[in-house]
Structures are given as C-alpha cells and as structure tokens.
Structure 1
Amino acid sequence: MSALPPDSAIYVPFRLGRRPAAFKALAVLAATGVLAACSWISVPMLPVPVTMQTLGVTVVAALFGWRLGTAAILAWLAEAAIGLPVLSAGHSGIAYLMGTTGGYLLAFVLTGLLVGAAAEKGWTVRSLASAFVVMAAANLFILGIGAAWLAMFVGASKAVALGVTPFLIGGILKAALAACGIEAARRHLPLR
C-alpha cells in the first residue's frame, strides 16, 4: 500500500465535512438506521446480548469522522430514549438506557469521539493493521466502560465474567471485520 499524502491527515473515507448541511443530516439519519440494524443482529446472553452494535459504532465513526460519527451515535441513542425500538432486541426507553447495558451505550458515544478522531488523523486508513489496532482498542474500551457500569449492578468480578470475557473473541472478530470494511472503503473511495 502506498503512503498517504501529507494533506490526508484529516482523511475520512466519506468526507462528509465537505457536504451541505442537509446532506450531513441525511447521512446521520441513515447511520442511525445502520446502527439500529446492527443492534437487531443479536445473540441473547445475560446480562448483555452479543450484537453487531460495536461493529456499527466503530465503522460509522471511522467513515464519518468524530463530529458526524458521534452525532449519529447520539441521534441513535436519542431515538432509543424516546421509545423507538432501535437497540438490541428492539429495546428502548430511558430505563433501558440506564440499566445494566448503560455503560456500553455510554461507551459507544465516547468510542465515536475516539475512533472518529483516529480516523481524521489517518490511523484507520494507513494500513489494514493500523485499522485493526484502532478497532480492537475501541472494542476493548467499550467492554471496559460497559463492565465498570455493570459492576454497579453485579459487582466487579461478575461484571468481568459476564460483561467482558464472553465478548473478547467476538470483539476481536468484529474489529477485524470493521478494519476490512474500512480498508475496502479506502480502496474504493479516492483519497481526494
């Protein structure tokens, strides 16, 4: 792979920052649909189901950048807060957002900021390996914040046993899938 040109330090594959406000709003709305669809792909587990939410969050942030990626994640969570069935298994509402999965959902917002910022620095498009490292770190970050929140409900050791350990392999696989998706976007979208 060739090195990125010097002015690509703020390269984000979809380059939404250059688009009109109406286009950005539609992109954010479309991203909430993608995030909802990723949420509905779910394997029931207690206390937290395995979903494709982390994949959706990391990819949206990497493709949109930190501002619009985080805006999309916040809009998706706002949809959930007002009762739209956009979370795993169609869950929604403030009570669900503040329940055992609340830390994971909060971590999604922070992940949008971090992965989006990494994308704008070019870290997600330098190589497949660098994209994987960013995505794997994001998955571990989500698990860590989620487990810290979950610990308030079930205690620290149970939070790790129930909210981290079962999700490590899936997190690595989702990180690899996200990195491949970003690499595909990089190859098919021009750098300029």
Structure 2
Amino acid sequence: MTQMTLSNAFVPLKLADRSIAWKAFAVVIGTAFLAVSSWISVPMFPVPVTMQTFAVTMIGALYGWRLGGLTVLAWLGEAMIGMPVLSGGAGGFIQFVGPTAGYLAAFPVVAAVVGFLAERGLTRNPFVSAAVMLFGNLLCLVLGASWLVHLFGLETAWTAGVLPFLIGAVLKSGLAAAVIEMLRRSGIMVRKP
C-alpha cells in the first residue's frame, strides 16, 4: 500500500528522475535563488527579516526532500567558505556561531521536511500547501529561537526571534503556496507516470 501511494505521489519538478548533471544544475540555480532571497532583507536585531524562509520552503517543495535539503546545505557551504550569500551579503564561519546560527541550522531541516510533505502530495491543494509552508516557517522559528534561548534567554528569544516574524511567516507561506499553485496549474510541476 505504501509503495502504491508513493508511486502515485505528486513529485515536484520530477527532479529525482533527472540526470546527475541536471540535478547539479538545479542545485546551482537553487543556491542562487537562496542567495538573492537572502539579500532581500529588513534589518532587525538580533535576526533580520529576509525572504530566506520563503526560498527554503520553495526549494523543499519544488525539489523534494533529498535534493532540497542538499541544495540548502550547498548554499550554507557557500556561506561557510565566505561567499556573500547570506542576509546583507554576509558570509563566513562567524555567521554560524552568532544569533542567526540556529536559523541557518534549521534551513536544511525545513527544506527536507517541506520536501517530504510535498512528495506525499500535500502541495496539490493550495490551502494544504499554505499550511505545509507555514509549518516549515514555524519549524524554522522554533529551531532558530532555541539557539537564541541559549544566547539571550527565553524572553529575548521570543520577543526578538519569534514574535516579530510570525506575520511574515504567514505572508511568505501564502506567497509560496500561491507560487506552487501557479506552477502546478501551468503544468511545470508534474505527476510521476
């Protein structure tokens, strides 16, 4: 039963069936999309508001859990070696020990979770898709704030690391669901034969 369900599942962009070269190209495009989304930023302390979670959830939903998680890890690898792919054009190892470290660590997890849910057909319906995207955004906030609790305490983590991002999480989730629905209706996102 599980095999039948998974074989009939909605497969975003159908990348699992593509060649290694095509998958590598998708990773390059995905890391570029993540970088551009990171540069769209509203400065806040201790963590800026960016379009990163929008991009991370989109990568997961479109690429699936394996390639989505791998793409986000590749983007984080670019950041770690100093490429200016993070918020404000930041890069370097220091970003992985500061206030944003928890969110950065959460991103591949979020992409994988959203991708896993998308592969099981949960992005076919725009309302369920929005709920999946919101779940991904909230998961990112919880994981990211857990690091802020370690650095600044629970109250600061909540007031500076979660609360200001809730409205953005809802808006980005709705936008991601709308984009996925548009792609689905255009025929870009296909079912496995």
TM-score, normalization by structure 1: 0.94
Provide Cα deviations, 1:55-94, integer angstroms capped at 9, x if missing partner.
Answer: 0000011000001101100000000000000000011111
User: Which deviates the most, 165-174 or 181-190?
Assistant: 181-190
Counterpart residue number, 1:129:
127
Note the C-alpha offset of 1:152. Answer: 1.1
Whole-angstrom CA distance in 1 between matches of 2:155 and 2:42:
23
Q: Which amino acid aligns with 1:67?
A: R
Note the C-alpha offset of 1:97. Answer: 1.5
Counterpart residue number, 1:8:
8
Whole-angstrom CA distance in 1 between matches of 2:117 and 2:137:
14
Maintained 8 Å contact 1:38/1:53: yes
Whole-angstrom CA distance in 2 between matches of 1:138 and 1:18:
25
| SS, match of residue 14 in structure 1 | helix
Counterpart residue number, 1:191:
191
Whole-angstrom CA distance in 1 between matches of 2:171 and 2:183:
18
Note the C-alpha offset of 1:20. Answer: 0.7
Q: Which amino acid aligns with 2:19?
A: P
Q: Where in structure 1 are there 5+ consecutive unaligned residues? A: 1-5
| SS, match of residue 8 in structure 2 | helix
Maintained 8 Å contact 1:135/1:178: yes
Q: Which amino acid aligns with 1:146?
A: G
Q: Which amino acid aligns with 1:191?
A: R
Q: Is 1:49 matched up with 2:48? A: yes
Counterpart residue number, 2:62:
63
Provide Cα deviations, 1:94-149, integer angstroms capped at 9, x if missing partner.
Answer: 11122110111111111011001001111112x11110110011111111111110
Maintained 8 Å contact 2:12/2:119: no
Whole-angstrom CA distance in 2 between matches of 1:21 and 1:107:
26
Whole-angstrom CA distance in 2 between matches of 1:23 and 1:113:
19
Counterpart residue number, 1:165:
163
Whole-angstrom CA distance in 2 between matches of 1:158 and 1:40:
25
Maintained 8 Å contact 2:14/2:191: no
| SS, match of residue 99 in structure 2 | coil
Maintained 8 Å contact 1:13/1:185: no
Counterpart residue number, 2:80:
81
Note the C-alpha offset of 1:151. Answer: 1.1
Q: Which amino acid aligns with 1:90?
A: G
Whole-angstrom CA distance in 2 between matches of 1:39 and 1:29:
15
TM-score, normalization by structure 2: 0.93
Whole-angstrom CA distance in 2 between matches of 1:183 and 1:115:
15
Maintained 8 Å contact 1:12/1:62: no
Q: Where in structure 2 are there 5+ consecutive unaligned residues? A: none
**131, 148, 173: which one pairs with 1:175?**
173
Whole-angstrom CA distance in 1 between matches of 2:111 and 2:133:
11
| SS, match of residue 13 in structure 2 | coil
Percent of matched pairs sharing the same residue: 49
Provide Cα deviations, 1:5-25, integer angstroms capped at 9, x if missing partner.
Answer: x6432x222110111100100
